[in-house]
Structure 1
Amino acid sequence: MLSFLARHPPRTRVVHLNKIEFDNGRSFIQFRPHEDRYLVINSLPPDEIPESPADDKPSPPNCALTPPLHWHSHQEEVFHVIEGDAIFYLEDKRQIARQGDVVTIPKQEFHTFRNASTTERLLIEFVLRPENKDRDECFFRNTQTYRDDCRNAGVPRSIFQVLMFNRRGNVVLALPGPKPVAKLAGLLMNFFGSIIGRWLLGYSYSYPEYYDKQH
């Protein structure tokens, strides 16, 4: 095992919190009771770089909660905009969602979203599949807190750790190239990246400081 090569930032204990702040308080995630329709509320700060209508690709993430372009192999995702405006990137399209709008992402469709405003926050809630709420909460708590802990510690994120979180959470990075090839490559990257991360580097799929099903 090559665990001595693994990079581990100091982990912030958030397992007991329903609301977790990131980016020095600029963003937060709040978990709903599992009987609610939606699982989480995300608050994203204003985007310092305005999204141009001419751009067909999203700007770089500006906070821990801004997802990269990705897809889900087995499930659709439903978003509800509570406050502000969001820009959704869906395959090769851009869509503006305003307060009260609901956006459904079919499974296997490349997607991400950004705050459309440079002055106002975006408050958005979403859920994948109700039967997967425990798994999804585990994913959100681990991947987003890990990212923020790495930022605070000045430690680069390990791609192998990220791929382990992604594989467990049914999240696949949207790679460039023809869609069939890109999707196969993304799945293979999750699979082999998880093997390397788990068995060679000693990373875990979840950390007790971040998630415990009993809480």
Structure 2
Amino acid sequence: MSAPRIRRWWFVGALFGAAILAAAFLCDAAVQTWVVQHQTPSALGLMRFVTKWGDWPTHVAAGVLGAAIAYALGKREWLVIFAAMVIACAVAGSVNRVIKVTAGRSRPSVKVERGWNGPSAKSDYHAFPSGHTAASTAFFAALVFARRRIGLALLPNPLLIAASRIYLNAHYLSDVVFAAMLGIACAALVWYFAARQPVLRPSG
């Protein structure tokens, strides 16, 4: 794909993402109200279990294990793919951390002043964006770029993790939407370079 075409795709993606994010911000209050009204003990327990698997250490461990198995079996293409998944997850997590510490958006669940409060080291002000969602989306989006069918089959994982963060009232809808976009962007950037490795072959 030529450089001008890549730039056009990034531009179109940015416009589309901005529209979706704007809609998400408009729906934040309504979604949060609905979530609070429909929480149940059993569902909360399930979502707490789901969300434990959504942070970056779990994804990095899974990626490293996959890379080790690929190396042992001599599957060099999968070694590169798993490495790209781990790197995408790490990049998304790092960028996400910088943004959330800088933005200082209060979480919907805490009894503090709502809004954007600027740089803060306190977790109560780390709503935007969702770290779990960014890490999980980047991890699996990299797999989508590498092996589309397998990646798409596993996409329910980051979607469920994003839903758990909203249901647990840890994040607003816009927090997870932006985090998902961040994860996809990081995965695309990492895969742009990873795909140049000679061991990789085009695959659907």
Q: TM-score, normalised by structure 1?
A: 0.23
Bigger-Rg structure (1/2): 2
Larger helix percent: 2
Question: So what's the TM-score if we normalise by structure 2?
Answer: 0.24
